[in-house]
Amino acid sequence: MINRKDQIHAALYNAAVDAGFMLYARVELVHNKVMVKDLLEDTPDFEVTFTGTDISDMDVHVEGVDNSKQIADSRI
Q: What is the reported pTM? A: 0.76
pLDDT by residue for the chain (76 residues), tens only, comes to 779 999 999 999 999 999 999 999 999 888 899 999 999 999 999 999 988 888 888 888 898 888 776 555 555 4
Please state, in angstroms and rounded to a whole number, the distance separating the CA atoms of residues 69 and 5: 30
Beta-bridged to residue 27, according to DSSP, are none
Structural domain count of the chain: 1
Is the separation of the CB atoms in 66 and 59 below 8 Å? no
What's the domain range around 57?
A: 4-73
Which region, left, alpha or beta, applies to residue 4 given φ > 0 means left and ψ of -120 to 50 means alpha? alpha
Please state, in angstroms and rounded to a whole number, the distance separating the CA atoms of residues 23 and 34: 7
